[in-house]
Amino acid sequence: MFQIKHLFFALLAINSIFVLVFFLNVQTQEPLATNTKAFVKNDKLAQKFRGHSDDDDDVEPSDDSDEKVVKHVTHHKSPKKHASHPKKAVKHVKPAKHTKTVKKHEEKEEKKDEHLKYIADLKKQLDKANKRVASLVEKGEKVQHVLRGSNPFFLLGAYPTVEKKYFNSYPDGRPYYSRYNYGVINDNDYCEVVDFYNLAHPENMFEQMNFFTDYAKNGLVRRDVIKKIGSDKMNEVSKYMDKKDFNSAKYHLNPTITNYFTKRVDIHIYHMIGKHFNCATQMYNHIPGHGVLKRKDLIVNSVDTYARRFKPAPECFNKRKFFPFSYRLYLKDECKAFFKEINSKEYQAKLKKEPIQYVIKLGYGAHRAMGVFIFDENETRNMKKIYDNGRKCGIETRSRIAQTYITNPLLLDFNNKFDFRVYMLVASTNPLMVYYHDGFLRVSLHTYDKHSHDKSVHLTNTHLSKEIFADAKDHNKTINGMNEMELREYQMWTFEDLADYLYESGKVKSKNWLNSYLRPTFYEAFIHTVRMSAHAFWNQSNVYEMFGLDFMLDDELNLWFIECNSSPQLIGTNDYKTQFLIKMLTDLF
């Protein structure tokens, strides 16, 4: 039966013809080594001047040195010219006591002339060499063109251009290929080397799992997954590597790499896809264009645009029941509307019942709750100062959103707030393939109090519990009867734990609530999330991404989509979570 590997063997045979033609063409070109002759032929002349003292006149070549040299040589009277006019020479002879001085001066002038002639000659040779280098560069570009033209993957259309619109991870939206990153050298011929290697060794693609990763060397991803299921081909690279090595051009990428799996989401900003890395026969775990989903400001745009399509049919999608209403404060009209609301009597009346009505979020570049602020009295004064109570709307354009705070969150047994972390794998964008994976509950270890000004009480990010763990461990304390290890276990609930708790507490009536309501609601949310953002994804089959989506349940069991993370934390904070992540990642690959 015909298999895909047979196609590659056929392509290899065809490609050998291209390569043969290419090498026949290259053999007609002058070898690069002959260019050294231009510099070797002046070696004896250079040696003649190596004995010059510091008193000798050194003339440094510059852009106009040719003109200066010619002018100097033309107007200087050499000793030979004095010898051809003896009468004039006798007429100007100095007294005998000055003869030695004049002779030294003439010798010095003679050496100066010879030195200038040497520099002029060297400048000519340098110009000639520069022209030769320019010619070689042009030939090199032609050679690269021949190599790419003989690459069957290129001929099959496996190298589409990544357009500027896909660089939306950050607002400036452009690549920085000239900047250093991870010490990796940007080799313009890298993908040709990779593809020709894989054509000659197809088992590298079909049977090997060779990774490039920047995760911590002793972390879960690298230690417990990559090194057990495959090979770490660039062990010297890490997100935590020495800055000196990071900011250098030190390492060539291994051509046997088959999968780039990185914590950082912006590798393609510093290395060109299809040229410097992520060749046709390699996979990359971040999708160019994913900014529409991962950025807190752009997801508001995505939801708003998507909702307009369903205005005539709100039963299909109603953004007021899917995503908390948000003001984009970088837009003048929405900013003014926000300040008009918070200055109204109606808003003041709401505060008496629910003291927190909004959370302020930075639009991009902030993680682990560092860019989220509870809109309490202090933050209200701060925002009014920044925007001059709305008068600077349209002038203060930093990307911020004001998102409606869910004032009736579902709480667990110790009045703890929680959210869901659920995983969505976009396995390919051409064709579009999306998979759902159960996650877990992230439970706050703080007792919920709607009047609290401590954002750790209102937010459920795992990072915010570090101080509690440290305090319990260092002082041998217990919280709600739990020590440090028990707190770590309690912080992460499974979906089954939640379903059992809700059934036992009478909040749900069916033991099958998990499969009859929660998971189907997640599936539906995934469909909407992908449909509102997939139009902005780079359309290619060798890019994929695992997103971490955050949801909340209110006390009426309505599910709310909060945000999406393009590089979710993969750290085992307890034994169960460690094994959960190892299995999920192993299944992913």
- Res 16: pLDDT: 52
Whether 342 shows a pLDDT value over 70: the answer reads yes
Nearest to 418 by CA among 559, 553, 569, 564: 553
Amino acid letter, residue 492: M
pLDDT band at 488 (very low <50, low <70, confident <90, very high): confident
H-helix or E-strand spanning residue 260? strand 259-261
Distance CA 429, CA 530 (A): 11
- Res 4: pLDDT: 45
Question: Domains in the chain, start-ordered, CATH in brackets?
Answer: 4-155 (no CATH), 167-286 (no CATH), 406-588 (3.30.470)
Is the alpha carbon torsion for 45, 51, 54, 55 positive or negative? negative
Residue 206, classed as helix, strand or coil, is helix
The alpha carbon of 432 is separated from its chain's Cα centroid by a whole number of angstroms, namely 22
Helices in 414-465 by DSSP H: which ranges? Answer: 455-458
Rounded mean pLDDT, 146-174: 80
Tokens 């809700």, residue? 502
- Res 60: pLDDT: 37
Rounded mean pLDDT, 119-138: 70
Rounded mean pLDDT, 500-518: 95
Please name the residues in contact with 349: beta carbons below 8 A apart, sequence gap of 6 or more.
Answer: none
- Tell me if 491 sits within 8 A of 445, measured CB to CB: yes
Is the alpha carbon torsion for 505, 510, 513, 515 positive or negative? positive
- Res 109: pLDDT: 75
Distance CA 364, CA 98 (A): 83
- pLDDT above 70 covers a percentage of the chain that reads 78
Output the furthest CA–CA distance in the chain (Å, rounded). 128
CA-angle at 413, arms to 407 and 416, nearest 5°: 45
Interval 285-298: pLDDT, tens: 999 999 999 999 99
Whether 132 shows a pLDDT value over 80: the answer reads no
Rounded mean pLDDT, 258-280: 95
Average model confidence (pLDDT) across the chain: 82
Distance CA 52, CA 13 (A): 62
Rounded mean pLDDT, 467-475: 78
- Res 289: pLDDT: 95
Nearest to 402 by CA among 506, 325, 508, 314: 325
- Res 334: pLDDT: 96
Q: Let me know if 97 is exposed, middle or buried by CB neighbors in 10 A (0-12, 13-18, 19+).
A: exposed
Rounded mean pLDDT, 447-452: 91
Please name the residues in contact with 194: beta carbons below 8 A apart, sequence gap of 6 or more.
Answer: 255, 257, 279, 281, 282
Interval 30-74: pLDDT, tens: 433 333 333 333 444 344 433 343 444 433 334 444 443 334 434
pLDDT band at 343 (very low <50, low <70, confident <90, very high): very high
- Res 28: pLDDT: 41
- pLDDT above 90 covers a percentage of the chain that reads 58
Burial 403-415 (b: 16+ CB within 10 A, else e): bebbeebbebebe
- Res 145: pLDDT: 59
Amino acid letter, residue 59: V
Rounded mean pLDDT, 516-527: 96
What's the number of CA atoms in the CB half-sphere (13 Å) around residue 586?
A: 13
Amino acid letter, residue 356: I
Bigger pLDDT: 21 vs 516: 516
Distance CA 245, CA 238 (A): 10
Distance CA 336, CA 342 (A): 10
CB atoms within 10 A of CB 325: 12
Interval 223-266: pLDDT, tens: 999 999 999 999 999 989 999 999 999 999 999 999 999 999 99
- Res 98: pLDDT: 57
Distance CA 284, CA 282 (A): 7
Q: Let me know if 17 is exposed, middle or buried by CB neighbors in 10 A (0-12, 13-18, 19+).
A: exposed
Rounded mean pLDDT, 436-451: 93
Q: Which of 156-165, 230-239, 263-272, 277-286 has the lowest mean pLDDT?
A: 156-165
Whether 105 shows a pLDDT value over 80: the answer reads no
Distance CA 442, CA 420 (A): 6
Interval 70-89: pLDDT, tens: 344 344 444 444 444 444 44
Distance CA 202, CA 153 (A): 13
What's the number of CA atoms in the CB half-sphere (13 Å) around residue 273?
A: 28
Nearest to 450 by CA among 409, 491, 418: 409
Pairing of strands 283-284, 358-362: unpaired
- Tell me if 365 sits within 8 A of 411, measured CB to CB: no
Interval 375-399: pLDDT, tens: 999 999 999 999 999 999 999 999 9
Q: Which residues pair with 492 in a beta bridge?
A: 442
- Res 210: pLDDT: 97
